[in-house]
C-alpha cells in the first residue's frame, strides 16, 4: 500500500507503539524534526450510562522555517477536537500608505 511505503520511507515508528482491541498508541519521528505521538482508547461516556466513547490524546511538533520548534497537544473525544498550546501567528506589520 502507498500509505505503508510513505510511512516506512519518511517516518520512523519507534518501539513501544501498540495496537490492541479498543486502544492504541504510536509515535512517529521524521528526519526533519517532525514528531507525532498519539494514544486512543474507549472510555466511559461523561454523560453516564453504559455507553463507551473514543478518546484520543496526542502531541504534534515540527521545526519552523526560522528554526524554532513548534508544538501543541490535543484531546479528541465526545466533546470534539480540543487543541491546547496552539502556536500564535506572528504579528502583522503595520502598513503605511504613501498617499496619506
Tens-place pLDDT, residues 7-63: 555 555 555 555 556 788 888 888 888 999 999 988 877 776 677 888 999 999 999
Q: Do 99 and 77 meet the contact criterion of CB atoms below 8 Å apart?
A: no
Q: pLDDT of 57-87, one tens digit each?
A: 999 999 988 888 999 999 999 889 999 988 7
Residue 19 confidence (pLDDT): 56
Q: Do 63 and 32 meet the contact criterion of CB atoms below 8 Å apart?
A: yes
Nearest CA to 35 among 5, 71, 64? 71
Amino acid at each position: 500500500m502507498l500509505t505503508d511505503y510513505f510511512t516506512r520511507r519518511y517516518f520512523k515508528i519507534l518501539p513501544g507503539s501498540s495496537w490492541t482491541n479498543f486502544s492504541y498508541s504510536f509515535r512517529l519521528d521524521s528526519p526533519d524534526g517532525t514528531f507525532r505521538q498519539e494514544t486512543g482508547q474507549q472510555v466511559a461516556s461523561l454523560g453516564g450510562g453504559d455507553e463507551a466513547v473514543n478518546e484520543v490524546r496526542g502531541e504534534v511538533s515540527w521545526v519552523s522555517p526560522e528554526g524554532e520548534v513548534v508544538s501543541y497537544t490535543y484531546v479528541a473525544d465526545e466533546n470534539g477536537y480540543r487543541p491546547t498550546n496552539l502556536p500564535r501567528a506572528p504579528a502583522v506589520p503595520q502598513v503605511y500608505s504613501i498617499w496619506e
